[in-house]
Every structure is written in structure tokens, then in C-alpha cells.
Structure 1
């Protein structure tokens, strides 16, 4: 009799003592981490200090940039908290509940409710959530590779230790929890590395590189500007400080990090509505960069369930059909956790009673068969095997040709054979007596063909790698019109050497009889050729490959082990959700590339203006309020809309190079033209006693040039993009025509000659920007 487990009283006592598995499941950063990450940044610190300086020297309108930073930071926090709420709620939905025996009754409980001494049942695909000792074992094989690196499954017997984080690949059993909470092995590993930051993000890495260089450029430029404004010009110190702050603030691309976080966060919320759990935010970006997607047939291209369509007795079978049906039913009853194939057999042949099972061999993806021994005389007793015909039979066997014909029609075929040797004998598959072929029909997913077509249109190669017969897998793939499905490859004939395997994988599209270790090797071989690889799967045989792939995608109905190692979980089990994830990633990458160009163009012209001011020994052209106005109308507001807009452009590598290729020349053109207009205005207004006339002319020039940069970045045009650019232009005109706004922003255009000269200079700069954009697009194609 199996162990009854703890009583309700014993559980309550352990809870009172704190002996509970209270390690929280983290699908996202904590609220504290989110607030700290958005507030405590180096640029917020710089802007905060400058804002305090302006509060001291006044006036307040020159400190508007400080309020903009506060608003931006608040938006970032709100959006990430919103994404966190979505992630955490989906994580609860997708979290598997281990089966625990209490008061003699097995029942699922939340991972956090397990207590010390609980008896936890195990079956294929189950993850060990706490440490313990094996109590019962029925062919129990556990894979500890995620913890130890050892790829071979370990056969467990009563008394053997079990480590949290390992998972069951075959058989079943139960174990007693000996370490829970933060004492468990997996929990100790989690303390050292958070799941939230495992995925590489080229966007975030690239932005970090850009910000590092911007910081180093700011330091000498700011020092030179301070000396210029305070010493050389001998200004009133308040005016000098304002001009110095005006020169430093626009160098900071403060909204770039914010918009990246917001874009990722909104992507998570959008995908959450489609029942897609993104366990690591940058995974959205990663899937958008994928150029090879490896698909496991079962559960991805086909639904998990199957139906027995035919039972074919073979010549010289050692049993008649009624006996075979009862043997199949008994085989089903012998496995407490049947897989999809065995479940179909149980449904078709439920009458397996009367046969006592004396030994069983659980199904394993590595060996491709299962078995059971039955008591009793006659044809129904003895040792029986059920599995892949090409594994159980020698090459050239007559039954193999019949099985191949069925496989070619997309049917799955299992061989029932009587074994002469005991199940524990390593040579049990030798000298078997083939009895019958069990023909199973697989249910194709209705959305699989459209999804494969989408990947083909996006130049993403699809590779079907399955443990099933290669011919059968190829037939299924052919029904879905997958290119290359007509020439399936038996993975047992693949070369073991990585380069040779990679060449074979590039040539083929469908691979059958793939072992779990081979799936892992295939992912590595593709990565060695420079491919970004996504792996989808739902079974325990997919775990190793999912772990090593650039992006792992698990089905919500799959095993707990696959969901634990995947970055993306499709809770609705719909393969058709993947294009939505790719589209979200492309939206984020494409739009952040656009807005990064806007921000860094401003950084480049700000640095250039500061250098020119220091070299020519003139006052800095602008006050902080002028640049706050320009940044808001030509960068801040437009960038927010552009960052969240639809974008179907293919994701491209080399983020930093692609942004800087236009931001640098555009910034140089804008800075040079603006400074030329400023010098002309200083000369033109030299005898005019109007404060800030030259600054107004320079502001007009820089606004028009920046607006043209925005117009270029906003392409290709749609009605709302055109409306966005025109709205920003209209807002600036309103500022120039409204008296109180003129006074607030210290802007007043004097006469007509210099304003029109400023427009002409901006027009010449716009032509230069157009030629530069076209040249860059040809010279450095995306």
C-alpha cells in the first residue's frame, strides 16, 4: 500500500513552524526593483542636479526639463507595473500544481503550499519542486542535466535523493520533501541568478553602449562650457549658469531608456491579452530576430490527442485479435501516467482487466518503447513491448514495409510485440515476435498551415524535429505545405560532428527519430552557423533543446519542465500565437530604432553647439526653456507615438550602427546650420537693443531642421504620421503667435529679414539631410 502522506494536523503544525516552501515564483521584477530602475539612473541624477540649480538661479520656466523627466519616469513606472500585473496574473494561470498526498488522498496543491515531509507524486514531465528522498519508484528516471550538466537520465530507487529543478523523463513514483523554501537546491541557484534577466537584448545592450559614450562626451564638453560662460564671457553668474545648463541638458537622451522600457512593457500587456506569457521581457525582441524555428510535431503541428484508426494483426502473430485487444488494454492499465499514444489505446481498448501486471517498463523518448509483463497462462501472459516498429524490429523485417506505407500517409504506427527476454534485460528488443500494428491518426492543428506560411513569408526557416518516424513526420509536414517535407531525414543517420550536422540541417526541413540529446545538438549546430534559433515544444523530451535555444517556446498544456525553462509560454496552446509575438518584437525593435535616431541627433547637435560656443567664445545660443520646447515638439511627444505605432519591418542586427549611421551626420548638419544662423543673427541684431532676438532666430532654425529630421524618421507616411508632424509644426506656430507664450519662452522674431534668413538656412539644411538620408540608405542598407 502506498504511503498516505501527512495528515491535515501535521500540515498545520509544519505551517505554524514555518516549514513551508515559501519561495515566490518570480515572473517579473518586484515593484521595488521597477521603481528603483526607473528613478535611480545616471541621467536622472544629472538632470536632477541641473534642475535644482535652476530652482536656485531661476526663473522656473528654465526648469521645465525637470518636470518632463518626472513625468517620463512616472509613465515608465506605471507601464512596467501594468506589465508586471499582467505577467504575474498569467504566471499564476500557467503555474503547474504538483500532486501531493494528504490524509491518503492525492490532490494538486500550489508550489508555495508544500510543507516539509509532504509526499509528492511524480510522473513523466513533472518537475521536482523541492529536494527530497525517493519513497516509491516504478521505473523512475530523472534528468538532472539542468543542475549537474550530466545529460543521461538517472534511474532512481527508493531512498535515492531528488534535487529540486530536475524533472522526470520516464516512469513514476513519489518522494518525501526533505528541504523546502530557500533551503532547496533550485532556490539557492535562483538567489544567484534571477530569471528576469537571462535573455540577451541587443536593444538594451546597444543603448547602454550609446549612453556610456554620451556620458564620456558630456564631461569635457560641460567643463569647457562652464569655463566659457563663467570666465571668458564674464556674464552675470545667473545668466551664465542658465546658459551652461541649457548646453548640458539636451546632450542627455533621457527618454530613450524610458521609451524602450515602455515599449517592452506594452508589448507584454498586448501579448498577455492573447494568453501569451512572456517570462522574460527581452524574449519579445529575441523571437523577432529569430531566423530558424525548430518545431516539435506533437503538440505544435498536431494536437496532443490521437485516435486509434486500425489494428492490423501480422502474419504468424502469437495471439488472436480479441487477445491482442486485451493485451493492449492491459498495457494501458499498467501505466498510471499514459502519454498521448497510450491514452488513445486505452480509449479504444478499455477492457484490459484480468491480467496482473508483474513488471513494467515506462515509455522513454530515448528508447522509443514501453513494456509490461503479465501473469497468467496462454497468449495474453508473458512480456510485451509497445513502440516504434523500426526500433523493435531488425532492418528488412516484413512488418517494417507495411509500417512505412502507413507512415507515408501521415499515420503514426506502433508495434505490439511479444518479447522472449525479461523487461530488465538490456537486450530485450532482440528476438521479439511481432504481433500487431496499432495505427493512430494524428489531429492536425487548424492554424498550423497559416503559421508556417507566415514564417516562410518572413524568411524564417522552419525545421520539424520529432521523435516519430521520419516518413510519418514528413507526411504530416507535407499536408501543411512545408517546403522540404518531401525529403524527410532519419536523424539516426545524421553525422555526429557539429559542422557536418549543421550542413545537413541547412539542407533538410523534416527530421524524424530524433532523440532528446540530438535535439539539443541540432540547436547547437544551427547556432554555430550564426542562426538565431527558437525551439517550440511541449514534452519532456524537448526540455534540453528549449533550454539551449536562443528563445524557448512552450505550450501551456505541456509538461511543467518545459514551461519552467521556456522564455515564452503559449497558455492557449495555440501555435498561431507565435506570429503575434514576432510582430510585437518587430514593433519594438523597429520603433525604438526610429526614436533612438531622434534622441541621438539631438545629442550630437548639442555637443557640437557646445564645442563651437567654447571655440568661438560666444554666449550659448539658448536658454533651457528653448530646448525644452524644441525637445518636446520634435522628439518627446512624437517619439512616444512612434514608439508604440504598428511596425512590420524585419528585425535587423547591429542596432548601434544602424542608429548612428544617420544620427551623427544629421546632428552635425543641424548643429552647423543652427550655429551659422545664430552668428548671422548676432551680427544682424548687433545694434538692436532687443534681448534674445538672435536666440529666437536660432530657435526657429533648429526647430525647422529638427522637424525635417522628424519628417524623415516618420516615413513611410500614413495619415496619422503626417498629422503628427503637422500638429507639432502648428504647436510651434501657436507659441510664436501667442503673446503670453512668447514671454514665457522668451521668443520674439524681430523684423522679416532675419526670420526668413533662418528659414532659408533651415531649407538648405533640410536638402542636405535628404541627400544624407538617401546616401546612408544606399551605402548602409538595412
Structure 2
């Protein structure tokens, strides 16, 4: 392969002229011709749902259909105030659509910032284009960390090794030569080259996977699956109960038809937790928007929730704890090597690699190549995380040739070599050390590293990220264990971790067991792991998961891809390789490790607040079902009209729920969402339903004559409101000034309705006499005390 001059760095924006011998790619006219024929890579980009999908998902739901039918009935047979619940549903649906649309715009704008732009050759120049602009027969360049975006045929290869494990499951990299197939979805782990696009758009091998995997939600969400389970049970309870209620309210000879229909609808509507799904979606959407402002791209929405549940974070050192760049701080010749000659070799090695990694880039900056025109490269071995070294062969122009290797000293040197002691001393200072060694074998020999003669140690220093220590402290405070997993020397990585205040055992991964169970035990005991291969990273994630841990993996290099994909939550840096960004659920576009606490906090806010809000909604569902059953059993009129329950739901659930769902919440996420919600909702709803029905029966004995039913309804409404307000007061704990204000404001709203005559008439609420209203208050007080005792008992009996 003919290379672009390594001295002239590739500008990511402006085209770079190619050498005459390189493949020129398509001409502008040929590109236009293929665009006209539709031979364009038009696979949808990673994004959220379309506006049409958002509207459909929010409007066409099972419960909206039920509520919609009941609303139409009420518009026909009852006053408008008994149809208010329908307008509330319209408002809720509109809010849900608006918030998710805002979240979509945030996601789309961030996805555009982080969009992959492959380098394509056209008209003899190499320039970056969007993936959707690639056409059939385009020649596309790629190097370490780059993903093949379309199916193609390799046309140039320079030590090119491709990982196809995400497609085939085969972990070992595949060496590619000109003429070999390149599958979309695979990525380069070593070397570089170019391939010609032979299948674009939906014809490409991974197009269907990309279209599915790039959309909306893939990560398991206990929150959403739990709510789906709850709604399924609610439906099962609601249908037979509603049928019984309809029969009991309509068959009585003395019942007024329109009033019976209204009271039947009043019994069915509150059984539906109509705002629960809405508020869950809104909470996720607000989370996306908040994190978007911090340049955090959430590629799969429940990843916010998932990271809040994580108890173990595996961190790659380079790019996560340290900044990506390095500086050469020393050169130590070995075995009498002449320093000037060593510098020339290092310069030539740097020039020989068209896609240098961070370590080699530091060497290029420190030792510019001065061998041009005198030395000729005759072979190359690109760096690979599995090998831990790279190499090149040169004809030195004086009739001599040499093969040089550059890589990890503890991999290239014999165990007894004295240079290892010097390396160890430097590693203990947190410095990174590379060994330059002259090989006695050819690069195509699998044992090329055996017997290599050490020539020099190259000392490099990485800068610690200024926010890393604080972020690690945050995780420690939150009982989230940090594990540093790096391909670098274990002692060096341990020294870096110690500087950041991370304590624990340092382990050389080459000494780790292969079996999953003992590997998991070793991982639980250790904190820092060095000399980890890409396959080991993947196995380590699996071993931790097998021991019940929820694992997040951070990384930016191609060696992190497999582990990122297998982790419960993958977090990639925006400046990382294309492959890591493609498989991660969360991308930190600002490359700041310090953003992770914000993601954890956002997840905790969503989970903790939705748990609170779900309890509110389901208390209402439980007491509504129970009231309907009691009404059917006693063969009495249902105590409420829809307007009464609309008022109660608005003041004790609807308005408070929006504030509670979006409030700050640092409570640690805990599992078993359904159990945690139902253990409070069932007793709370049962107490509210029984107490309200008792008040209603007492009122039926107390009042008689015309208007008795309205007086009975008002007394029952007073009891149910007070109990519901107490449930809200319990759910709002721990109290802050605004939570106390919220509860008081809802109470004041109900008092306002009772005090203003036209509101009394509008909501058909009028307390008659003093005996029954005070009895209603007394029954509510007893129920509130029972709730306190019952919930505290449940809290002690049922594990969190």
C-alpha cells in the first residue's frame, strides 16, 4: 500500500491530495450519476423516534381508547364538568408529545455533533463525508478504531486486521488483504487500508442490525417493564370490576339513567392510572434534555436508569483517568546503543505508521523523521492491543537492514533482563515506558519478539484528568466500586490510580485465572488491573456480572469495544474510536469523565421520583377498584360523579406528580420496582377505599329526602380527599420547604372549592350540617393514623 506522508497530518475538514499511485476513487460526475440512480447509503442514522412515531405512541394507547370512549359518552349525557377528565387526558398527551419532541431534538443535535464521517477518496483527494453520502464504488479509508460503514472489498491493506466479532461472534481479529471481503459493522484493530463499497444502504450486511440497534430503546429498563406489568394487572382487575359496576348502576328501577351513566363512568375512570406512563416518558425526556446540555449523548434512553443501578464501574486508564495525549520525558539507551541513532530509528518508526496511536504520536512530536530519502521501509507490523507492540523493517541505504520493535518492556524482555528493574522503578512513578528493541527475525515470523536486543527505553508521561479524583470520590461515596482495567503495565496503572486516591490491590492480568468463578473472585478482591487484553476485558465484565454485579464500562479505544458491548452500560468518550461510540449507550461528547456523576444523578432522579409518583397513581387505582366492588356488593349508587374524582385526582395526584417527578432526588436506585410500589399502594388504597365507603354508608343513614345523594357524595369526597392528601404528605417525604408548600397548596385548593359558591355548584360539593362533615374528618383522621402504622410496618417487614 502507498501511504500518505506521515509528516503531513490529515485535516479532518479539508481534502488531502493523494499520491498518484494511490487509488483515486470516483470522480464528481460518477458520484452524481450514482446518486441519481439511488445507489446511496441511505440507512437511517442513529436517532430517536420520528415525530409521527412519538404522536402515535402517546395518542394510540389502550387506556386513551378507554378514556376516549367514556369521554364521548359523558359529553352526550352529562354536564361539561363531568367531562373534565377528557380534557385532562388531552393536556397530558400534549405534554408528553411536546417533551419527547424536545428530547428528540436534543438527541438529534447531539448525534449530529458525534456523527461518524468516513474518509472517502474522490477526484484524487481524501475528504470526510457523512455516512449517508457514501455511494456505490466509493473508496473508503479506515484505520484502528474505524468501523466499516458499508459492505466492501479491500483494495489496500497495510498490516490490516479487522475484528468481526460483533457480527460473527469470532473473537480473533481477521487479517485482510486486497480482494478480501469487508463487512459493515466490523472494525479495524490494527493497521490500515482502504476498501471499495459494493453494497450500500439497506443491502449492506449490518444495515438491518444498525436500523434496529440505532433506534430508541434497547437497554433493559426495570422501570418500564415494571410499569407494563402493573398496567397489565390493572387491566385484568378493571374489566370484570367495571362490568359489575355497570350492571349494578343501570339495572335499578328507581335509578335515573343519565345519573347512573355518569356515576358508572365516575367509577371506571379513576381505575386507569392514565398519567403514570406519561410522567415516566416525561421524566426520561427531561433527563435527556438535561444531560444534553452537558454534552452527554444518551443513545438509548433507559441507559440513564441503568447507570443509576450500576454498582461496579470498569474504567480504562487512558482517555478516562488520564488525558489522551502524552509527552516524551526521557530516553534511556541500553546496551551501549548510540542515542543519536536511537532517535533516528524512533523517527523512522513514527513516519512508518500513517495512523499513530497516542504513544507513537508523542514519539513523532519528540523525534521528527530525518531518514527520508536514505532509509526505505520494507515491512511493517501495526500495533495491536493483543500483541502489545508494533514494528517495522528498514533498508538503511548503506547496504544494511534492520527490523525494529516498539512496545511493552515486560512483553518484549526476558524476565531476568536488568532493564526490567529500571522499567519497574519508572512505572512506580506512574510513568509509561516503551522498549525499542532490534529483532533478529522477520516481521512475518510469529516469534519475532523472541530474542530481540533491547536498544532504549522511551519514557512517557500522561496528564491526569483534573476532574478524575473528584469523580472517583463521588462513586466511592455512592457505594459504586471502581475497577481500573488497562492494557498498560500494572505497576504504572496502580501508581496513577494511587495519585487519584483509589486504594486497593494491583494485579497483573496475566496472572488471572481463566475460569469465570475464580476470575470473579479475583476481580472482587482487586482494584487495578494491568496488561489486560481486549478479550480479557470482555471476560472480566462477564465474570463480574455472573456474581450479580451491574457493570458499567468506560473506554475510548478499539480495545474496549467488546467489553463495552457486553457491559450493562457502555460509556464511550466522544473523541474515542468510531467503534466504541457505535456500541456504547452513552457518549460523553465533551470527553469529560466528570459528566458521569450527572448521569448517575439523573438516573436516580428518574427512578426515585417515578417510584413515588407510581405509588400515588396506584393508590387511586386500588381504592377505585375496591370502591366499585363494595358498591356492587352493597347494591348502592356509586358515591362519586366524574367531576369529584377529577378534582381529587388533580389536587392529590396530577399536579403534585409533575412536581415530584421532576424534582432532585439523590436516593440510591434499588431493585424490585413493582414490589416496592405495590407494597405501599395496596394497603394505602385499601385503607382509603374502606374509610371512604364507611363515610358514605354513615352519610346514607344520616341524610334523607331531596338532595341526600349530593350531601352523601360531598361527605365521602371530603374523607377521600383528606386521606389522599395524607398519602401525598407521606410520599413527599423527606420534607423540604417546597414539598411542604406543595401539600399545603393542594389542601388550600380544596378549601377554596368548598368556600366559593360557584365552585361548589360547579363541582356539586356542599357540606350539609356539621355532624356528618366532622364525622367525615374523624374517619379520615383514623384512616391516616392507620396508614402511618401500616406503612411503617410494611417498610420494616419487606426488604428494600
Pairwise same-fold verdict (TM > 0.5): yes
Query: Any idea what the Cα deviations from partners look like across 1:506-550, whole Å, max 9, x if unmatched?
Result: 000000000000000000000000100000000000000000000
Match of 2:560 in 1: 542
Match of 1:270 among 267, 290, 297: 290
Verify the 8 A CA contact 1:473 1:512 in the aligned structure 2: yes
Distance in 2 between residues matched to 1:689 and 1:334, nearest whole Å:
96
CA drift at 1:362:
0.4
Matched, 1:413 2:433: yes
CA drift at 1:304:
0.5
Matched, 1:92 2:112: yes
Match of 1:289 in 2: 309
Query: Any idea what the Cα deviations from partners look like across 1:445-483, whole Å, max 9, x if unmatched?
Result: 000000000000000000000000000000000000102
Match of 1:682 in 2: 700
Match of 1:774 in 2: 792
Distance in 1 between residues matched to 2:119 and 2:369, nearest whole Å:
27
Match of 2:15 in 1: none
Match of 2:632 in 1: 614
Match of 1:8 in 2: 28
Distance in 2 between residues matched to 1:689 and 1:720, nearest whole Å:
40
CA drift at 1:377:
5.6
Verify the 8 A CA contact 1:256 1:595 in the aligned structure 2: yes
Verify the 8 A CA contact 1:61 1:744 in the aligned structure 2: yes
Structure 1 alignment gaps of length 5 or more: none
Match of 1:435 in 2: 455
Matched, 1:459 2:493: no
CA drift at 1:234:
4.5
CA drift at 1:739:
1.0
Verify the 8 A CA contact 1:246 1:624 in the aligned structure 2: yes
Match of 1:517 among 535, 554, 558: 535
Match of 2:774 in 1: 756
Structure 2 alignment gaps of length 5 or more: 1-20
Matched, 1:243 2:263: yes
Verify the 8 A CA contact 2:700 2:708 in the aligned structure 1: no
Match of 2:651 in 1: 633
Match of 1:254 in 2: 274
Distance in 2 between residues matched to 1:567 and 1:711, nearest whole Å:
37
TM-score, L = length of structure 2: 0.96
CA drift at 1:688:
5.8
Match of 2:747 among 715, 720, 729: 729
- With over 3 angstroms needed to count, the CA separation of the structure-2 counterparts of 1:379 and 1:568, relative to structure 1, is farther
Match of 1:65 among 74, 78, 85: 85
Match of 2:223 in 1: 203
Match of 2:511 among 493, 496, 507: 493
Verify the 8 A CA contact 1:333 1:352 in the aligned structure 2: no
Structure 1 stretch displaced more, 352-361 or 702-711: 352-361
Distance in 1 between residues matched to 2:601 and 2:273, nearest whole Å:
27
Structure 1 stretch displaced more, 141-150 or 683-692: 683-692
CA drift at 1:196:
2.0
Verify the 8 A CA contact 2:376 2:397 in the aligned structure 1: no
SS at match of 1:116: coil
Distance in 2 between residues matched to 1:496 and 1:522, nearest whole Å:
10
Match of 2:319 in 1: 299
Verify the 8 A CA contact 1:327 1:352 in the aligned structure 2: no
CA drift at 1:192:
5.2
CA drift at 1:352:
3.5
Distance in 2 between residues matched to 1:30 and 1:543, nearest whole Å:
29
CA drift at 1:770:
1.0
Matched, 1:468 2:488: yes
Distance in 1 between residues matched to 2:191 and 2:640, nearest whole Å:
75
- With over 3 angstroms needed to count, the CA separation of the structure-2 counterparts of 1:686 and 1:494, relative to structure 1, is same
Match of 2:690 in 1: 672
Match of 2:54 in 1: 34
Distance in 2 between residues matched to 1:58 and 1:620, nearest whole Å:
16
Match of 2:594 among 545, 565, 576: 576
SS at match of 1:395: coil
Verify the 8 A CA contact 1:323 1:379 in the aligned structure 2: no
Query: Any idea what the Cα deviations from partners look like across 1:367-387, whole Å, max 9, x if unmatched?
Result: 000000010267984100000
Match of 1:122 among 125, 128, 142: 142
Verify the 8 A CA contact 1:596 1:659 in the aligned structure 2: yes
Verify the 8 A CA contact 1:122 1:172 in the aligned structure 2: yes
Matched, 1:226 2:215: no
CA drift at 1:155:
0.2
Query: Any idea what the Cα deviations from partners look like across 1:594-641, whole Å, max 9, x if unmatched?
Result: 000000000000011000000011100000110000000000000000
Verify the 8 A CA contact 1:609 1:671 in the aligned structure 2: yes
TM-score, L = length of structure 1: 0.98
SS at match of 2:323: strand
Verify the 8 A CA contact 1:97 1:110 in the aligned structure 2: yes
Match of 2:717 in 1: 699
Match of 2:759 in 1: 741
- With over 3 angstroms needed to count, the CA separation of the structure-2 counterparts of 1:193 and 1:430, relative to structure 1, is closer
CA drift at 1:58:
1.5
Verify the 8 A CA contact 2:351 2:369 in the aligned structure 1: no
Distance in 1 between residues matched to 2:95 and 2:375, nearest whole Å:
67
Distance in 2 between residues matched to 1:2 and 1:182, nearest whole Å:
29
Structure 1 stretch displaced more, 55-64 or 335-344: 55-64
Q: How many residues align?
A: 778
Matched, 1:142 2:162: yes
Distance in 1 between residues matched to 2:357 and 2:335, nearest whole Å:
28
- With over 3 angstroms needed to count, the CA separation of the structure-2 counterparts of 1:691 and 1:677, relative to structure 1, is closer
Distance in 1 between residues matched to 2:668 and 2:773, nearest whole Å:
42
Verify the 8 A CA contact 2:626 2:686 in the aligned structure 1: yes
Distance in 2 between residues matched to 1:748 and 1:379, nearest whole Å:
109
Distance in 2 between residues matched to 1:434 and 1:380, nearest whole Å:
19
Matched, 1:315 2:298: no
- With over 3 angstroms needed to count, the CA separation of the structure-2 counterparts of 1:196 and 1:693, relative to structure 1, is same
Structure 1 stretch displaced more, 262-271 or 55-64: 55-64
CA drift at 1:740:
1.0
Match of 2:67 in 1: 47
Distance in 1 between residues matched to 2:408 and 2:87, nearest whole Å:
69
Match of 2:174 among 138, 141, 154: 154
Match of 1:716 among 706, 709, 734: 734
Verify the 8 A CA contact 1:233 1:619 in the aligned structure 2: no
Distance in 1 between residues matched to 2:117 and 2:212, nearest whole Å:
25
Verify the 8 A CA contact 2:28 2:123 in the aligned structure 1: yes
Structure 1 stretch displaced more, 619-628 or 238-247: 238-247
Distance in 1 between residues matched to 2:134 and 2:182, nearest whole Å:
15
SS at match of 1:101: strand
SS at match of 1:196: coil
Query: Any idea what the Cα deviations from partners look like across 1:392-429, whole Å, max 9, x if unmatched?
Result: 11211111111111111100000000000000100101
Structure 1 stretch displaced more, 663-672 or 21-30: 21-30
Distance in 1 between residues matched to 2:377 and 2:347, nearest whole Å:
12
Distance in 2 between residues matched to 1:279 and 1:342, nearest whole Å:
32
Query: Any idea what the Cα deviations from partners look like across 1:275-329, whole Å, max 9, x if unmatched?
Result: 0000011000000000000000000000000000000011243xx1100000000
